[in-house]
Structures are given as structure tokens and as C-alpha cells.
A and B are shown apart, each in its own frame.
Chain A
Amino acid sequence: MTEFYYTKAKERKEDIDNMNIVICCKFVPCPQDIEKNIDGSVSFDRATWEISEFDLQAVEAGMVLAKATGGKLIAVSVGSSRIEASQLKKDLLSRGPDELYLVSDDELTDADTGVISTILAKAAEKIGADIVICGEGSADYYYQQTGCQIGERLGWATLNYIDSIEAGDGFLKVERTLESKIEVLEVPLPAVLSVTTNINTPPRPNMRAILSASKKPVTMLSLSDLGITSIAENVKVVSTIAPRSVDRKNIVVSGDTMEVAAAEFVRCLKVDGVL
């Protein structure tokens, strides 16, 4: 795969009007639909697919920024041909994006973050993104890597764990909560930001948004449209198995009154030496 790390320094965007705001969304099998087999293997064969829940906040953050700046909101998703399902496209577009780009190829089933971020970086360039917003992690693998990798590949300002985005005069003002403090930062454009679930509470799409979703443009891109000729994986999945559950005693404590039950409960904990 062609490396283009730091090769194309996009010219700094000095004004924040008419921005192209790109949000990266992952479609994933619904985590609750996992099937665990006796041999420890897991399957999502019968799962319904949905937008990765952490990306809903990214879409809404993009929506709020697009409204504040008069920008255009463009969603991009990368994955196997499963992502072409019309219900997924409609669901995403009903949440606000003006249009959607899909890069689908069955070779991308289970592609690693290096591959996915390369494709997303190429797509962001092709679309002419001024800002790329990702969710902090995905509901299936939760690597929390994609946004950081896209930014590094593009050589743009790159920050993760963003709790708030405000449009400033030629820059974005963002807040990032670290373990011990909150940083308030001025970010030049173009930029790639990964947002936390604390950034907003995404509203449910209303009927009008749902109806208009099917009229919005969807563009299919192939890997070759993005100038990618081959996919080189960086890591290979060796195995995926359900962890063995921990054996517990499963004793239900009861008593004639709550006081009696509580005393017995406390006695058990004391015997186990954990009080």
C-alpha cells in the first residue's frame, strides 16, 4: 500500500466557513446479537447490523459544527459489502449528514486499523475534507486508534478524546479531558478529531429526517478510485474465542426480614475474608 505519511501537507485553512466536515462511521453487528458456541467460537452470522454506537456522538458533533459554520456534513463508511444495506445508509443519513460515501470491498472484512485508517485518509483527501471527526472507538473492537492514525497519515492536527468542539476565528477550540486535567486547545485546520461519548446526547431522528434520508446522495467508491491497488495487512488474526467464565458460588441469601438477610450476607462476606 502506498505510504503518504507527511507527503501531502494540505494548505492550512484560514477561515472556518463552508467547511467540508467528514465524519467516519463504522457499521457493526449489534453487540448483543453475539452467539457463543460450545467450542468457544463466536459468531455474528445472524446479527442485525447498526451504526457503531460511539459514532452517533461523532455524527451529532459534526452536525452541530456544520450548523454553526454553514459547512457541509459528509459521512464516510468503510467495510465489507454488508455496509451497503439500504437500512444502514438510511439510518446514518437520517441523523443529519448531507451525503454519504461508502468504500466497500469484501477484502475489508475484519481489516485492521492500519488498513481502515489508510482508506479513510485517502477518502478524506478525495472528498476535500477540512475536518474529520471520528468516534473515540468502535463498538466491536474498540481500538480507539482510527482517528489518530488517519491524522498521522494526513499530517494534520490530530487529537483524541475530545469532549467539546467550538468554532473559533480560523480555528477550532476544543476541550480534551486527560486523566488528571482538562486541556483547552486551539486546533488549526485541517484537523482530525476523535470525540468521546460525553460530547453530546444525540437526538433520535424525527420523521421528516427519516423521510428525507432516502433522497440524499450516496456515492460508492472502490479501492482503486482511491488509488489503492493492494491491501497489506499489518497484523493477522490468529484466533477469536469467548473467554471462559469465572466460576462463582451463586448463593442467593434470603431471610424472613431484610435485617436477617443482610446479617447473613455480611456473615458470608466475613467468612470469605473480604470485609
Chain B
Amino acid sequence: MIGGAKKLSGGGKVTAIVLGTEDDANNICKLGTDTICWLGEQGNRLVDDFIPTIINLIQSRVPDVFLIGSSVCGRAIAGRVAAAIGTAAIVGTKEIREIDGGITASHMIYGGDAVRIEKLLGKTLVAIVGAGFSDAAEPVTGNGVVEPVPFIEPVVKVKLIETKEKPPSNSGVATAKRVVGVGRGFSSKEEIELAKELAAELDGEVGYSRPVTEGDPPLMKGEPYIGVSGIQIKPDLYLAVAISGQTQHVIASNESKVVACINKDANALMFRHSDYGIVADFKEALPALTKAIKAAR
């Protein structure tokens, strides 16, 4: 995000808002930001408790662009800052450009079926960006200034009763080099084991399509899914198994270097979006592939 901000600024100033330790703030300094607004450590507060403070910063400094990372709290910050300063935030921002003195942002809509470009009419563009927005900033020798920012107490308080551990999920799928996609065609956890065995042989991860995590009843409830509204992947190899090939899924995986698929329906859309395909029942194909990979690697 800092890399993207620096590129966007075109030599202008980059300010980072940092929640964390003083060391965190100093480390961000080394990435070439001009100013660090340091909110201090989170302590027992919610990230959301800092939103009034952030709103105050944006209102007083009026940046041309306010970038926020795409996380649950990031989306909450974006929405509330946007409402407070009277704008509409852009989510899943792909690219920000300056055209004719105006700032435009592009992002996917209709589950990836279209790219929409919007032009900012107000003073500050509020844009939520994902990890793929820009290359990471390289450390530089700079002399950024860390400014501690006083905390503004929220008017309404939400109380944190407890924090629970999150059950382990397949979140490694977003960064895996090889991903085996599990689709609607799977009907039991035993069948998913076949995909996991292949993924293990590939040193990769298993990913799910949306129906697998949200179907009725969901086979893998609560797991992240590959989709425009879920996680987007760009591994070296994406192997979509028993996945029909709906746009939302294809768009979220089409930056993969090689896409392959297994489907028993030769007319499945997924074949059109694949480099290689096998028309077969995955229950036969997966064990055969696992064996063949073992022999070949």
C-alpha cells in the first residue's frame, strides 16, 4: 500500500496512519513515507475505536487519496470515514489514475463481469485496496517524521467481552504457488480429502468455490472461498476440480499462470477458461494425478 501511495503521489507527500508500537511506526518511516501519524498501540481497544481519531485526521489534512487495506476493520474505517467527509468509498480498487485533473478509480462489479471506472467529485478519494494493488515499497534512507496523534474517545462505546481463537482455515490459499480448487461437485469431506492429498503432493493448498462454503448445507462452512467477493488468487498453477466456471470464480483466479480443470461435464464453462482439462470423474482423476505427480517430481 505504501508502494502504491508513493507511486500515486508522483513526488507529492505520503502520510501513513499507523496503529502499533513505536517500532512499527519507525519501520514504516523507513519505507519512505514523509509523515507517520502514530495512533499508539491498540491495547484493549477495538480497531474501530480509533475511527473518530482517523476521521479527524482526514478532515483536517484533506488528502487527495486515502488508501485503506482490505480487511474487515479496513472496510469499516473506509465506510465511516467516507460518510463523515461526504464521499463514497471505492472497494477492491484495481487502479487509481489522474485524468484531466480529476482522480478516477477502477474496480470490479457484477461479480467480476464488468470493470467500472468512477471519478471522484469531492476532495478525497477513499479507496480500499488489496495486496495486489502495487508492489511493496522498498526501504529507503529518508527522514520521515513520526507524529503521535492524541486519541479521540468514541461517542458510542462497543465493549469487547472476549476474543476467541479462530479455527484454522485454508487462508494460505491466497499466497500458495499451487492451488487445487474444490467445487460444487464434491459431496463429502472424504471426497475433499482426495483434493487435499493432491495439494499436499503439489506443496500447495486447497481452495473452495463459494457453493462449497455457503451451500445448503455448506460442506465447509465459514471457510474463505475463491471469488470476486472472497479471496483472489494468482498462483503458478490453479487446478479447478468439479467447478463449473462461473464468472465470479474465474475472475478471481484468472491471473494464475496456468489454469487447469477436471470436470465430468465436457461442456463445463471452466474448460474455456483453462489451459488444460481432463473430462473425468474427479474421484478417479485425483488419485491418478496424485500418483503421476509423485512419479514426475
On A, residues with C-beta under 8 Å from B are 3, 5-6, 9, 31, 34, 36, 42, 112-115, 117, 137, 139-153, 155-161, 163, 173, 175-188, 197-198, 201, 233-243, 245-246, 248-254, 258-259, 261-263, 265-270, 272-275
Contacts and interface: CB of A to CB of B under 8 A. Distances in A.
Contacts of A241: 114-115
Q: Is the interface of A mostly helix, strand, loop or mixed?
A: mixed
Nearest 7 interchain pairs by C-beta: A148-B79, A152-B83, A262-B288, A114-B88, A149-B83, A112-B88, A152-B80
Given A245-B273, A269-B260, A145 B113 contact: no
Interface of B: 46, 48, 71-73, 75-76, 78-80, 82-84, 86-92, 104, 108-122, 155-166, 171, 178, 202, 214, 216-218, 221-222, 228-229, 236-237, 251, 254-255, 257-260, 266, 271-280, 284-285, 288-289, 291-293, 295-297
A113 B76 contact: no
Nearest to B253: A246
Contact of B229 (A5, A142, A242, A259): A142
10 contacts: A145-B82, A145-B88, A152-B84, A181-B164, A234-B121, A243-B112, A248-B275, A259-B291, A265-B260, A272-B275
Given A152-B80, A159-B158, 10 more contacts: A137-B229, A139-B111, A140-B109, A145-B78, A149-B79, A157-B156, A179-B171, A181-B164, A185-B46, A237-B118
A254 B278 contact: yes
B158 A182 contact: no
Contact of A141 (B78, B83, B109, B259): B109
Given A245-B273, A253-B278, A274-B236, A156 B163 contact: no
B75 A178 contact: no
Contact of B165 (A3, A176, A181): A181
A270 B202 CA distance: 12
B257 A274 contact: yes
Nearest to A185: B158
Given A151-B80, A269-B237, A242 B273 contact: no
A187 B158 contact: yes
Contacts of A159: 48, 76, 158
Contact of B88 (A147, A178, A181, A235): A235
A236 B121 contact: yes
B158 A198 contact: no
B59 to A, nearest CB: 11
Contacts of A274: 178, 236-237, 257-258
Contact of B119 (A141, A238, A253, A258): A238
